[in-house]
Amino acid sequence: MHHDKLTEYNAMVIWVIGLAGSGKTTVANMLCDAFWAVKKPVVLLAGDNVREVFGNDLGFTERDRLSNASRIRSLCYLLDQQNINVVCAILSISQVDRDWCRNNLTNYKEIYLDVSVDMIEARGDRDIYRQYKDGETKNVVGCDIRFEAPERPDFIIENKNSIGDLINRTKTIAENILSKND
């Protein structure tokens, strides 16, 4: 059953964007916990989980990453039409995907985790960047696959400090989002 935009409560789709190791999963899980804490059901979609659901039929080339993002957009649209909250943890390498979401989803919010490859690598948060530099892997976003930073995110978290800072900033964003959606 489709709920129109005039319903008392509009579900939202929150697109958590950033490079591998930027903190997307941490932020997405915290946002889901915040929804559940106020008795608002939510579905978490993460890029790798969606790949698994579809039988891991996509690789990690730019084309495959765009195909996976398209699947996630479609799932978000399906859930949005049923008035179900969704939090996505996704690299989201293309502004085209984010523009589609903004234009087609009822209540879309973007959170961008802004952190450089060098900082992620220095923290040891992801081995993939070292593997790329050592020639052990390819198709790494931020290295040989271009990452288009979002043009107009609703929230930016500069994840350059401690995990505590990331947690505090996420709590503030969750409170902001949920207070505007009561």
- Domain assignment of residue 25, yes or no: yes
Domain count across the chain: 1
- Domain assignment of residue 70, yes or no: yes
Q: Is 92 a catalytic residue?
A: yes
- Domain assignment of residue 129, yes or no: no
Instruction: State the residue range of the domain holding 51.
Output: 13-115+149-177
The pLDDT assigned to 47 comes to 84
- Domain assignment of residue 125, yes or no: no
The Cα 166–Cα 148 span in angstroms is: 22
pLDDT beyond 60 at 8? no
Overall average pLDDT of the 61-90 stretch: 94
- Domain assignment of residue 144, yes or no: no
Contact 60, 139 (CB under 8 A): yes
Overall average pLDDT of the 14-31 stretch: 94
Which residue is listed with tokens 């939510």?
Answer: 42
Overall average pLDDT of the 91-120 stretch: 93
pLDDT beyond 80 at 105? yes
Overall average pLDDT of the 128-144 stretch: 93
Tokens of 128: 């993939």
- Domain assignment of residue 124, yes or no: no
- Domain assignment of residue 96, yes or no: yes
CATH of the domain at 35: 3.40.50.300
* Packed helices 95-104 and 62-81: angle between N→C axes, nearest 10 degrees: 10
- Domain assignment of residue 100, yes or no: yes
Residue 166's CB is within 10 A of a number of other CB atoms, namely: 21
What's this model's pTM, rounded to 2 decimal places? 0.89
Catalytic residue chosen out of the listed positions 22, 70, 74, 92: 92
pLDDT beyond 50 at 154? yes
The pLDDT assigned to 9 comes to 64
Overall average pLDDT of the 20-29 stretch: 93
- Considering only residues 159 and 72, tell me which one the structure prediction assigns the higher pLDDT: 72
DSSP label of 175: H
